[in-house]
Structures are given as structure tokens and as C-alpha cells.
Amino acid sequence: MATDSTTYTPPALTTDGPNAALDRTAGRRILRQFAVFIACGYLAYLVLTLPAITASLEVMHLGWTIPALLCVFGPGLALGPLAWRAPTRRLKVAAAATALGYIVAVATWWFGWTGEHLTGNTDIWFSLFCGLAAIAAALALPPRYSFIVLVVVVVAATVINHAVRAPEANGPLVPDIAWAFAFSLVYFAAAVMGMRTAAVLDDTRAQAYSVTAEAAAAQARSTERQRFNQLTHDGVMSTLLAASRQGNSSQLAQQAHATLTDLDAMREGTDTTETLTAEAAMAHIRLTIATADPQARLQVHEQDHPARPLPGAVIRTIAAAAAEAVRNSNRHAHSTTPTAVTVFLKGPTLTVVVADEGSGFNPQTVPADRLGITVSIRDRMSVIGGSADIDSAPGRGTRVTLRWVLK
């Protein structure tokens, strides 16, 4: 019988918290992918524009060229390593700095121009990839502002290119602007739509968790109405039946104590300060697992009991998560052997392992709408400061490890 009294709280959709590395929101994944794309673009253009950069030294002062190169390529290349480790806010700041660095270089070109003109078909180097700055702006700014950045950098870069080139080497200005804008717009639109799609996916995910929380609350109300009947049947009657069949034993005494504790909790209401001895905690876990699956093979290994009592709400949460893992095994494993449950209590660490030899599955391919593992096991353990590890693969069974440390 699971008497989990911990209130379910849907996981916060933050991306900059202490568990940011584990965050899997669509927004963060797509932001990182575009950041890597931009960094690779800047690296490629740095190599491809080396001849143009060298040629521009004939018409641009070296004192302007070096800072301009740092402003343009520095933040853009930094997006690459930042995409792997940096939190979302820092990544967006770096993307904004990338766009700003390009704008600064374009805005100050006049101070670096010697007044001479480029010969032949050579272009000023920063006009060759103006769209990259707009794509970086799309990662950090709303679409309307990033579109303004696109228009400004394309027009400015094309006009400057016409100014520094020899007049006979230039074509019509308006068609050149239109071509540069159309070429850049394709990639810019992909970035904007990618970020917008990510926002839609994240909103859908948030709504799914909200609906799940509401369903969990409704389920909790229904469960509360059934708890007394379940406790009478699964606790009182099973204890009396065990007494009539097995006689007096230490295990029976522990089971009876756990049943009396649950009866007291039922009468007095939920008490978040309730504590259990190690023996009572083990008895409660035994009872919960036996209720979820009477055929489960349960083993308990106790060593160096903790010096302090264990929080009752935590023990019930762990037992409920373990019971959910057992029920999942019964529903999906299709195993011919019983599910094995092993409980380890060593010092302040409590570990529960639920293992089967069934068909197994790939945890990475579980559909997003299947929230059983996420909500009923992982989030349950996360609320109490514990952890849940799911180890499974097709054809080799499933192993669920729940771990919590008394602090």
C-alpha cells in the first residue's frame, strides 16, 4: 500500500538553475544548435575572407582592422565553446555581443578608411557575411528587432562595399542590396522559425505538466477516499492473516508497527515532521512492495543504521516510487520471473533497486506524452532530494535504482 503524502509539484522549466546540464527543453537544444552553426560560420568565413582581409589593408588602416576583426570574429567564435557548457542567459548575451560587434565594426569603418579604393572584384571583408550577425541577433532578440538588425547590416555593408570599391567595379546599388538581403533572409528566417518552434514546444511541454499536475491532484483526492479501505484490507487484514499463519516473529512485529503508524497518520492527518526508525521504515517499504506485487522477490540488507530517525514522508515517497517501478515492470516487462526488489540501508544512504529480466526498452525513445517515469518516479525522488536512475535496453531487462541520503 503506497501512502505517499508528498504533494506533487511540476518541474520548473528553468534553464539556468543548478541542474541546467540535465535540462532537455526544446528551446535550449535549438539555441545550442544555432549557436554552433553560427560559430562554424564565423570560422569558415574567417578562413575564406583571409584574402579579402589582406587586400583591405590597402584601403583600411591596420589600427582599425585589428580591433574590427576582434569585434566581429571574437564573439562569433566564442559561441562554439559556450554552446556546450554555458547557461541560456549567457549564451544569449554572447549572441547579442556577436551582433553588436559586427555593428560596431560597420559603424566605425569611416575612421579606418584611407580614402583609397579596392581594385578588381575584391569586396570589403565584412560585407561577405553580414547575414551571420542578423542570425546571431535572432537568437538573442525578438523577431521584429532582429529583423531590423538584418536590414541595417545588409544595407550598411552593401553601401560601404560600394564606397570602398572602384566605381567601375560596382554594379547597381539597389539590386546588390536586394541580392544580399534575399541571400541572408533565408538563413535568418530559418533561425527565427527555429526559435519560435522551440517556444511552442516548450509551452506545450509546460501545459502537459500542468495537466499532469491537475490530474495528480484529482487522483490524490480519489486516493485519499480510498486510503482507509486500502489500509484496512492491506494493512490490518494482511497483518492479522500473517499472524494466524506464521505466528509471532520480528518481521510480523515490524509490519504491525507500520500498520499502526499508518492508522495514526490517517486519524491525525498528514504530518510532514513525522519520523520513523530504520526498522519501521523497512517494514513500510516491505508492505508497500508486497501490496504492489505479492509475487515480487524482496530482499532487505541493513548495515550501520543512521543515527537519526528517517523522515516518514520521505520513506513513503520512496516506497511509492518503488511501487510504481514494480507496477511498471508487471505491466510492460512480460517477464516469466518475478520482479526483484532489493533494499539497501547503509548508514545515511537508502537505496532501492527494482530489477526484472523482461523485454526492456530504450529510455531515450519513450514518447514525451508518457509521463509515468518522469512524474511518478524521477520527479517524486527529485522532490525529496533523491535520485532515480533508469537502466534498460531492449532484450536485457530493466533496472530502476532509487537513492536518497539522510542529511
Per-residue confidence (pLDDT) for residue 197, from 0 to 100: 81
Per-residue confidence (pLDDT) for residue 276, from 0 to 100: 87
- What percentage of the chain has pLDDT greater than the value 90? 39
Q: Measuring CA to CA, which residue among 51, 53, 55 is closest to residue 73?
A: 53
Half-sphere exposure of 343 (CA within 13 A, CB side): 24
44 vs 364 pLDDT, higher one: 44
Q: How far is residue 84's CA from residue 356's CA, in Å, rounded to a whole number?
A: 36
Exposure string (b/e) for 324-352, b if CB count within 10 Å is 16 or more?
A: bbbbbbbeebebeebbbbebbbeeeebbb
Residue 225 exposed, middle or buried by CB count within 10 Å (0-12, 13-18, 19+): exposed
Per-residue model confidence as pLDDT tens digits over 363-391:
887 765 556 677 778 888 888 889 999 99
Residue 297: pLDDT over 60: yes
The residue type of 131 is G
240 vs 166 pLDDT, higher one: 166
208 vs 58 pLDDT, higher one: 58
Residue 79: pLDDT over 90: yes
Least confident window among 40-49, 63-72, 185-194, 367-376: 367-376
Quickly list DSSP for 255-314: HHHHHHHHHHHHHH---TT-EE-HHHHHHHHHHHHHHH-TT-EEEEEEES--SSPEEHHH
Per-residue confidence (pLDDT) for residue 209, from 0 to 100: 73
Residue 269: pLDDT over 60: no
pLDDT band at 401 (very low <50, low <70, confident <90, very high): very high
Residue 7: pLDDT over 60: no
Q: What is the chain's length?
A: 407
- The DSSP bridge partners found for residue 200 are none
Mean pLDDT for 301-308 is 79
Per-residue confidence (pLDDT) for residue 121, from 0 to 100: 83
Q: How far is residue 379's CA from residue 376's CA, in Å, rounded to a whole number?
A: 6
Residue 155 exposed, middle or buried by CB count within 10 Å (0-12, 13-18, 19+): middle
272 vs 14 pLDDT, higher one: 272
DSSP 8-state assignment for residue 174:
H
Residue 206: pLDDT over 50: yes
Residue 17: pLDDT over 60: no
Q: How far is residue 381's CA from residue 403's CA, in Å, rounded to a whole number?
A: 8
Would you give the distance in Å from CA 311 to the centre of its chain? 29
Per-residue confidence (pLDDT) for residue 171, from 0 to 100: 87
Residue 241: pLDDT over 60: yes
Mean pLDDT for 233-237 is 57
Sign of CA dihedral 38, 158, 190, 134: positive
Least confident window among 10-14, 97-101, 171-175, 351-355: 10-14
Cβ proximity of 216 and 27 under 8 Å: no
What average pLDDT does the chain have? 82
Mean pLDDT for 69-81 is 94
pLDDT band at 312 (very low <50, low <70, confident <90, very high): confident
pLDDT band at 32 (very low <50, low <70, confident <90, very high): confident
pLDDT band at 332 (very low <50, low <70, confident <90, very high): confident
Mean pLDDT for 254-266 is 69
